[in-house]
Chain A
Amino acid sequence: MKWAYRLLLGALLIAGIAHRLGPRPDLAQAASHLDRTYATLKPELVGPPEVDHNVASVSVARCPRPLIVASMPPSFTPTAILLSNKRPGDRTYFAYLDWLSTNPDRMAVITRRIGTPIMAMFGLSPYSNSRVMLFISEPGECDVVKQVDWSVYWKP
């Protein structure tokens, strides 16, 4: 039976290499995810979102100023710099997978950050990528962030 195990390990090695060399999510795909997220707002969008590195500016008809959507690592480390750039009266949200909150709730993010890849291993997670969190800033005069299904961003 030695050869049966050897064949099994050989097959696993080849399958593992093929799996790793298969198609992977890329940056363009991530951008299209963001587009898909904005699709909820489409009737109200004023032109396409302007993207500069990892910060997007989204103009919505009923808002006096654009929404600012920044992608960042899911750890709240850049929160201070992002909050320092918001205008008085702006509301800020953090979105990560199925979670959306105005508070930087670290436990909510950590449980999802650890749990999602483990669930994905067994095909139990609807999300394909959990390496990025969104920081969203909306002007105080409009209320659109809660109407968007942000979880679409992380779905395949």
Chain B
Amino acid sequence: MENVYTTNDPPRRISLAADARELIGGGVVVLAVAYALDQWLAFNTKAPLPIFDLFGYGVAIWRISRSKAPPLSAGVAVALCGVVALGALGPYRSPGVALTVLAVYCGTRKDSELRTAGALLFALAVHELWSRGIFAAFAPEFVRVDAGLVGSLVKLTHPDAVWNGNMIATSDAHAIVIEEGCSSFANVSLAVLCWLSMTTLERSKVKKVDLLVVIPVIAMQIFLNVARIYLMALSPPMYEYWHNGLGAQIYANGASVLTIGMTLLGLRLVHKP
């Protein structure tokens, strides 16, 4: 049967509304690429890709794709595009600012999948941006805690060692200074991100019992870093091996594998039927 149009039909209007899943998910992809390139090309050296971060981005995008959010109005869509543009085209760290805005937007929606994605985006923003600010403010205190742990260990095994502030000398010829970048606390936000990504990959809601898993994961990260700095303090060859050599890779990969393994095992244990 032929369609019959009459003059009383409302005129067709172009809708400026956008699919929330597509726009927010696409925005997160743009920010993930910008952040990964920032990390990969930092200081003109080809650093390893930030695997945990990309995994977190992946889980967030997956959660966004499963949401049933209503279409975005034109104003909100344009504002979110502006935020993504700021993150993609701004300087180093700008993806973190854009992520924070997206996280707040997603986290305040009614849809539980979007709220979960918001929590994950917020964890990513904290890891990529805000933890650096907090760490910058309290770096001397954080470093002092690390130096205290390493210094105590060194004094136990090498009573002649000299430990002064964040400097530890095991002989006249070898001393190390624990700098801001060496602190164990720099790895805590990464451990939290990994835990949250794996938890939200399994279920859309994080339960209180899941928090029992993250505490040993953080403790393990601190223990591994302290052990590594202790080994570096022992002698120049040990320093070279664990700071620049194969030991540095063993540490990085070992810490990653242990973080994933402990999180998986912990989640299985706390949710055992």
Contacts and interface: CB of A to CB of B under 8 A. Distances in A.
A binds B: yes
Interface stretch (A8-16, A42-50, A57-65, A87-95): A8-16
A151 interface: no
Given A13-B33, A20-B37, A121-B94, A77 B88 contact: no
Nearest to B31: A16
A8 to B, nearest CB: 6
Interface centre among B16, B89, B164 (most CB of A within 10 A): B89
Interface string A81-113: 100100000000000000000000010001001
Say what secondary structure dominates the interface of chain B: helix
B273 interface: no
Contacts of A117: 91-93
Interface residues of A, number: 34
B224 interface: no
A120 B136 contact: no
Given A78-B179, A120-B91, A6 B26 contact: yes
Interface residues of B, number: 48
A15 B93 contact: no
B81 A80 contact: no
B111 interface: no
Nearest to A72: B179
Given A9-B26, A13-B29, A75-B180, A80 B165 contact: yes
A108 to B, nearest CB: 12
A74 interface: yes
Interface centre among B41, B88, B89 (most CB of A within 10 A): B88
Interface stretch (B49-57, B137-145, B195-203, B210-218): B137-145
Given A2-B22, A9-B23, A80 B30 contact: no
Given A2-B18, A8-B81, A118-B97, A15 B88 contact: yes
B84 A20 contact: no
A19 interface: yes
B3 interface: no
Interface string B15-51: 1111100110011011001100110010110000000
A95 B18 CA distance: 49
Contact of B136 (A15, A20, A75, A81): A75
Contacts of A118: 97
B71 to A, nearest CB: 10
A77 B143 contact: yes
Contact of A24 (B23, B44, B87): B44
Contacts of B255: none
B30 A13 contact: yes
Given A1-B18, A27-B44, A121-B94, A16 B179 contact: no
B14 interface: yes
B133 interface: yes
B236 interface: no
Given A9-B84, A77-B178, A113-B136, 17 more contacts: A5-B77, A8-B81, A9-B29, A9-B30, A12-B30, A12-B81, A12-B84, A15-B88, A16-B34, A17-B33, A20-B41, A26-B43, A27-B43, A76-B139, A78-B166, A80-B164, A114-B136
14 contacts: A9-B26, A9-B27, A9-B81, A12-B84, A15-B89, A19-B89, A20-B38, A73-B139, A76-B139, A76-B140, A77-B140, A78-B166, A84-B167, A121-B90
Interface of A: 1-2, 5-6, 8-9, 12-13, 15-17, 19-21, 24, 26-27, 73-78, 80-81, 84, 106, 110, 113-114, 117-118, 120-121
